[in-house]
Amino acid sequence: MLFKVEMDVKVPLDYDVDHFADLKRKELERFQELQKVGTWRHIWRVVGLYSNISIFDVTSSSELHDVLISLPLYPFMEVRVTALCRHPSSIHDDDR
């Protein structure tokens, strides 16, 4: 199942800079793991914001939930999820 996930990161201004840098490093590692196995298929940065729009490929909404809460920055995220399905006019076979 494909899902569009919009993530806005909201970090308190007084949050410890070193701890946040460590969380970002861990977030990058987790993101790359999920990309390598095909779970996190696409990511785009939203210009001017600490936000992204991503496409996830998972077996269920429960799996997506588990993936999202596993992200080190999840406690600072506002997340919006939209379920997607293949458009019948698509010429791409991997739009499942």
Rounded mean pLDDT, 54-82: 98
Rounded mean pLDDT, 59-77: 98
Residue 44 is inside which H or E element, if any?
strand 40-45
Contact indicator for 96, 2 with CB cutoff of 8 Å: yes
For 8-65, write each residue's pLDDT tens digit. Answer: 999 999 999 999 999 999 999 999 999 999 999 999 999 999 999 999 999 999 999 9
pLDDT of the residue at 95 = 64
d(CA 7, CA 16): 21
Q: In CATH, what class is 2-84?
A: alpha beta
pLDDT of the residue at 93 = 75
Domains of the chain, by residue range, sit at 2-84
Is pLDDT at 86 greater than 90 in this prediction?
no
